[in-house]
Amino acid sequence: MKRLALCHTPTPLWHHPALDALVGCELWVKRDDMTSGAAAGNKIRKLEYLMADALAHGATAVITCGGLQSNHARATALVARELGLSPVLLLRTKDPSAAQPLTGNLLLDRLVGADVRLITPDQYRARAELMAELSAELAARGEVPYVIPEGGSNGLGSFGYVAAVEELMEQQAAGDLPPDVDLLAVACGSGGTAAGVALGLGRCPSVARRVAAFAVCDDRAYFEDAIAGIVQEARALDETLPPPALLEIYDEFKGPAYGVASAEQLEFVSRVARACGLVLEPTYTGKALFGLSRLRDKPSRALFVHTGGLPGLLADGEVMAAAWARAAVGA
């Protein structure tokens, strides 16, 4: 499989007793929030494979999609510019005609001069068709466009997390991660990371016994389907891949809506930051680690993949401030 070297790897393994106390088990954190600089997070691991494929196809432009504060769209735009490709982003927002705050991920998209097309949540449902239309539009102008699906979540993108588990196996062999990890926890937004991790554990079963994927939107049935599809695609691309490890999807910690966290979840994010300096965000990692802290059958030793998302947090100041004001009143 063709792969570009875009990430700073191996990412560190991090452990803090105050975090153990908050989550309620021995917790190791795989710092994939440190895979890069501004392009950091989980998406750049997928982009090592997706962008290699784009270049192999002679692409001159890359099209992808996501929410207004999409970490995936931002990582794709930054990496595209690094590789000399033009980024085109379809971003979902309630009112495309309104001025959008130039903060967080959108600020970075604009900074690299991405061609940003704002669309409504209704239009977003037909994102695959819209990206195909955009692709035809660019081709008519003489570009060679390459379409990356939402979240970079297809069979090819998932190899980024097969590789991450191979990296973990080496770190475990070197003594940077203890053996007997009961559970590998990860946030789940479009399913590619969970699919890759499960496939990686299928190949490297000594790393952890099972995967817990914490949905931040949709529900268990939706992700069972989506992940099975990605796994099937990946195994068709690489026939040496064994079946995936046991994967459980938890959808009871996703909060009120995608991008909207409960008061408890926001307070958890604040509490973790104050206790040990680890910065989560309320859309993905905050919900996932909150979920792990609330599991009924707590593992004794867990590994959490910190998938990044810092720019999204930096666009969420108002929401966070309201949460820590409430926390102070309650204290």
Ligand X SMILES: *Cc1c(COP(=O)(O)O)cnc(C)c1O
- In the complex, the residues that contact ligand X under the rule CB under 6 A are 41-42, 71-72, 151, 153, 187-194, 284-285, 307-309
Closest to ligand X by CB, 145 or 160: 160
Q: What one-character DSSP code corresponds to residue 245?
A: P
Q: How far is the CB of 231 from ligand X (least distance, A)?
A: 13
Helices 192-203, 155-173: inter-axial angle, 10-degree rounding:
50
Closer residue to ligand X, CB minimum distance, 138 or 152: 152
- Which amino acid is residue 105, in one-letter code? N
Least Å from the CB of residue 252 to ligand X: 17
Q: For residues 145 and 189, which CB has a smaller minimum distance to ligand X in the complex?
A: 189
Buried b (16+ CB within 10 A) or exposed e, 6-20: bbeeebebbebeebb
Smallest separation (angstroms) from ligand X to the CB of 136: 26
Shortest spacing between CB 173 and ligand X, in angstroms: 26
Q: Which is nearer to ligand X, 72 or 235 (CB)?
A: 72
Contact (CB, 8 A) for 268 and 289: yes
153 vs 171 by CB, closer to ligand X? 153
Residue 70 catalytic? yes
Residue 292 beta carbon to ligand X: minimum distance, rounded to whole angstroms: 14
| Candidates 36, 70, 135, 270; catalytic one | 70
Task: Find, among 225, 221, 216, the residue nearest to 255 by Cα.
Answer: 216
As a whole number of angstroms, the distance between CA 32 and CA 187 comes to 12
Tokens of 73: 């769209």
Burial class (CB in 10 A: 0-12, 13-18, 19+), 309: buried
Question: Residue 159 in contact with residue 170, Cβ under 8 Å?
Answer: no
In 251-330, the DSSP E strands lie at 301-306
Residue 61 CB, nearest approach to ligand X (Å)? 22
Residue pair 270/317 in contact (Cβ under 8 Å)? The answer is no
- Which single residue is written with the structure tokens 């700073």? 8
- What whole-number distance in Å separates Cα of residue 90 and Cα of residue 205? 38
Strand order in the sheet with 13-14: 13-14, 26-31, 301-306, 183-188, 210-215, 247-250
Minimum CB distance to ligand X smaller for 104 or for 299: 104
Within 13 Å, how many C-alpha atoms sit on residue 58's CB side?
Answer: 4
Catalytic residues: 70
